[in-house]
Structure formats: structure tokens, C-alpha cells
Amino acid sequence: MSLRNIAIIAHVDHGKTTLVDRLLQQSGAFRENQRVAERVMDSNDLERERGITILAKCTSVEWHGTRVNIVDTPGHADFGGEVERILNMVDGAIVLVDAAEGPMPQTKFVVGKALKLGLKPIVLVNKVDRPDARITEVVNEVFDLFAALDANDDQLDFPILYGSAKEGWIAKAPEGPKDQGMAPLFDLVLEHVAAPDVDEGPFRLLGTIIEANPYLGRIITGRIRSGTIKPNQPIKVLSRDGMVVEQGRITKILAFRGIERTAIDEASAGDIISIAGMTKGTVADTFCAMEVDEPLKAQPIDPPTVSMTFMVNNSPLAGTEGDKVTSRVIRDRLFKEAEGNVALRVAESTEKDSFEVSGRGELMLAILIETMRREGFELAVSRPQVVYRKDSSGSVLEPVEEVVIDVDEDHAGVVVEKLSARKAEMVEMRPSGGGRLRLVFHAPTRGLIGYQGELLTDTRGTAIMNRLFHAYAPFKGEMVGRRNGVLIANEPGEAVAYALWNLEDRGPMMIEPGWKVYEGMIVGEHTRDNDLEVNVIKGKKLTNIRTTSKDEAVRLTPPLRMTLEKALAYIDVDELVEVTPKSIRLRKTILDPNDRKKSERARKDVTPTA
């Protein structure tokens, strides 16, 4: 059977996963009476809740006697490590673009990598049914983007399709016809995308996706570059520099058939498969026949830009809500995650019972923390810090990101003002239609930590921000951090409504009556710039004096709700977020007030080091 391997690449929320749903439906991958969840490829609970794709996934459909392997890739820059590897497996790419928003930073990031690999793109303008669609301008923007990314003449001569994945139709013109479903896209893939280019020689496969299976052990997914493979065949694993990592036998070969993965007896060059049986081979390693000595060339991966310290939860409430609390269990979980996620780095920290975890952005690390707390882990995490470097002359370099903000003209001033205070430089400002402006900045990563919430507040929730790693640049100097101090509990116990009511003029609270607190826990935000210790467990003194007027019922202002991302962005360098399966609490790193004061006196301004 002839083969085609394609990836669907686009910016977050432009409709990739919905498109895959429609392709599967039309190709007959589902029975007519089969109940299928919406966005079937987003298998992970977090992906469904947030509406984003975190892990790259493969599927395959048959169309007119040709097997089409389709890869659904993440659209968020923090998960870009997945995208880079996937592109090595495919021969073509469907570039999906929103008919209103046009090409966005993540589109630029992935398309740039796809064009460098020589993939010939198909452009699909999705959501043409949107009332604010600007189809002609978007097509022109896509062409300009390809030209700016040094696309060759073949790549610039890309075919264009229009449609609405949600409504289930694609056509060669924006107005239709709308009765052919996904057929025009399937036909164009067979015509425009070349069959896999296979090499002569024995079996070779480059590891692209890694996962752990409780029954089969380590499963490696990749595309066979040459030769054939059968179960029980002996193979070896070569690292990127040609060293032998391990030798063993293939226990199982799995192929994608619709949304299922089924065992097969033989696979040949060009197909995308998963193999089980090896225990040490990982992503970017070459899995090959015993006679092969030369590894396949693997794509280098962009470096992590943000790091956090994960540590054992040592608060007075430790162990009351989670069952995985020891450093050994946390360590094993983090190193297991790093095995399957090449954009993640985990290292033992110099401090006791803590680990340094580096990734592509705070969202990526927040997803890891959220996954761990759902598995029953308890841990404490520090504020995200950027990963600095040094150049040849010894100067400190910091990561800078390209930030694209779509905002109403009325709010543009406050956005420019706030980002300037965070050491960002504006590189472009242009109208994007409908009374909105598109602002492009180059901003240091550390200045963007915690800015998303502030941006939504400043713009009444109307701004859209997209970020992308740009480059390392000279350190831009100190910048103002959080302007307000915090309210800190000075005694352990349960919070009392009367005490919280009396403290409301000190600042907004983060806890509710009945919540357990401990000394050193952050219970609210101070209206001034200094920290203040307060008593939230002090009840009303009862007397035997009777009055005719009844006591007023205590009415409290609703507290500040701290989600995980908000909490990570909010805390300062001397604070931690305590994460358990049931709660997210903020606390000072040093709980004892006397020790805290000594530490503050000893702390001096430290210049960042690489």
C-alpha cells in the first residue's frame, strides 16, 4: 500500500485537533453508531480542560488505497520540543491558519523549522465562517511569512484550501462548494505530498516520541528510514555521537490504525510505527540493525529558558492531603518525565531534598506540576527563574522573547507603558482590523513572568498575547518586581470570619473562614509595599453584657482565587507555592519570623550568574 506522512501545524487554538476529528470521520475510522468524544486526539484530561494540545499524537487513515499517517502537533510555544522532533517523521505539512487572526508567532516558529527541512506546505485557511474573517489579507500574510523565512520557489508556490473544520467542509474557494466534506484535502495530500523517501540498507529508525507503558515498558515511536523490522528481531541503539547505548530484541511492533494502535507482524521503510523492548534508548537515538554503525542525524532542540526548584513539602500541613511526599518518589517522577520530554531538564539541587527543573516556559512547568498533583504528589515550588548564560567575554546573557499582542486601540497605551517598565522594546505596531492594533515587542523572559493576568486586567480581558523564544541577549538590568507586600499568618489554627473581616482594610484576603493556616503562610495581599504579620484565628470576645441591638452578620469580600499559574507568577523570590492534590497555598520559604528577619538582613542584591 502506498504511504503519505503529513503533520498538521498551526498556532494554538486555530483548529488542528478539530480538523483531525473530521478527517477521521470522513475516512471511515469510526463506525456510524460509534460514540466519539469531541477533539478525540486530546486524550489527556488537562488537554481537554484547557483546550490545548500538549503531546504530539499520531493517527492514520486510508483514502483511495493510500495510507495517510497524520500527526497532530502542539500549537503552544512551551511544547515546541514536541514539534521539532515530529517534523523529522513527515514529508509534508498542512499549515492551518485562522481566517481572522492570520499567522501567529507559533505558526512562524513551526513553519520556519518545516521549511528548513524542505517540507512542501499546503495552506489551509480555517474558520472562514467567522464574521471577522479577512481571507485575502491572511493569504497575503502567509505568503509574506514564507518569504521572510527564506522559503524556496517550490515552497512559495503552495496550494491553498479554504474551509471550516467545525462545520466539516473544505473547498478550493472560500464560498464552497460545502458538500464535499474533507475530500478536497485528502485528494490534495495524495497529489502534492511526495511518498516517503526511503534509503537502501538494513533497518534504521530515529526515535521521535517516547512514552512509558505499564505493560510493554518503554515505547519509541518514529519513522523507519530503511529496511524492515519484525518482532523478536535483534537490534541495537546508537546515540547521536555513534556510541552503542544498548542491544536487545523487539518485543512488539505497533502501528496506527485510525485512533487505535494495533500490533503488526512486519513494518517496512517509510511507515511510522512504535516499537517496544528496549530499556535505555530514547529520543534522538538511532534504533537499527546490528550491522549499522552510523547514527541518523538528529535535529538539535532549542534550550530551556525557565527553571524552578521543586522541593519536598516541609510545611506543618505536609502529608495531610497527598500520599506521595518523599524526595525519592518526587525524584523518580521528575526523571521519568525528563526521559519522555526532551525540552525538560532535571538536575539535583545543591539544597537538601530539592531539584532544579528547567523547561521552555512557565506554562510547560505549570502543566507538569498540575499533572503531578493529580497523581497524588505534594511538593513546594519556587518562583520561575530564567536560565542565564555567559558569552565568550564573560557577559551575562538572558533569554528574550518575541511578544505579539492584539489589543483594542483604547488600551494600547497602557500595554506599551507596562511592557516598557518590564524592559521590553517595541519593534512593530500596525492595525489588525476591527479597531484593533497588533503590537510586537522583544521582551526579556523574566519581565513576562506574571504579566498575562495583568494584561487581561488592564485591557478588560480583550487582549490576546502570544510569545515565542527569540534569542539570548545582554542582560537588561534590574526591573521592578511585585509592588505590594503580603499578609502573613502569625499563628497556626483555623481562619475565623470575624478576624478576616477586621483585616479587610489591610488588603484583599486569599483564604476563607475555616481554612487551616500555619505560621509563615501567606493569607492575603497587603495594601502597602511591606509584609505584615496578622492574626486570622482571633475570634470575637464574648461578654455577659446584653444589648438590644443584635450583632451584625459578618459579610466578607470574596477572596482572591489563586490558580496554580497565578500563584507561580505572584510569589516573590523568598516565597514558595505549596501544591497538594486538594490545595494551593502560598507561604514564605522561611516560616519562623525571627529567622526570616535575620535572612532578610543578610540578603544582598545579587547579580545573576550563568
Residues contributing to the annotated binding site for GTP:
13-18, 126-129
Give the whole-angstrom CA distance, residue 579 versus residue 600: 25
Contact (CB, 8 A) for 213 and 276: yes
DSSP letter (8 states) at residue 440: E
CB count within 10 Å of CB 314 equals 15
Interatomic CA distance for residues 156 and 243, integer angstroms: 40
Contact between residue 99 and residue 126 where contact means Cβ atoms under 8 Å apart: yes
Q: Are 181 and 26 in contact (CB under 8 A)?
A: yes
Residues 447/422, Cβ–Cβ less than 8 Å: yes
- DSSP letter at 548 equals S
Q: How many CB atoms lie within 10 A of CB 222?
A: 24
What secondary structure, in 3-state letters, does 207-271 show? CCEEEEECCCEEEEEEEEEECEECCCCEEEEECCCCCEEEEEECCEEEEEEECEEEECCCEECCC
How far the first Cα of the chain sits from its last, in Å, is: 53
Cross-strand partners of 74: none
List Cα–Cα distances, 340 to 302, 309, 432, in angstroms.
Answer: 16, 20, 39
| DSSP letters spanning 493-512 | EE--HHHHHHTGGG--BS--
DSSP 449: T
Q: Which of 536, 496, 507, 531 lies closest to 519, judged by CA?
A: 536
Q: How many CB atoms within 10 Å of residue 112?
A: 15
Q: Cell match 518514529: residue? A: 222
Q: What is the 3-state secondary structure (H, E, C) of 358-388?
A: EECCHHHHHHHHHHHHHCCECEEEECCEECC
- Binding site, annotated residues: 13-18, 126-129
Quote the CA–CA distance of 536 and 532 in Å, as a whole number: 12
What DSSP assignment string belongs to 86-98?
Answer: HGGG-SEEEEEEE
In our burial notation (b when 16+ CB lie closer than 10 A, e otherwise), range 345-380 reads ebeeeeeebbbbbbbbbbbbbbbbbbbbbeeebbbb
* Residue 284 DSSP label: T
* Residue 17 to residue 13: CA distance in whole angstroms: 9
With CA atoms as reference, report the closest residue to 188 among 126, 251, 121, 103. Answer: 121
DSSP symbols for 384-434: PEE--EE-TTS-EEEEEEEEEEEEEGGGHHHHHHHHHHTT-EEEEEEEEET
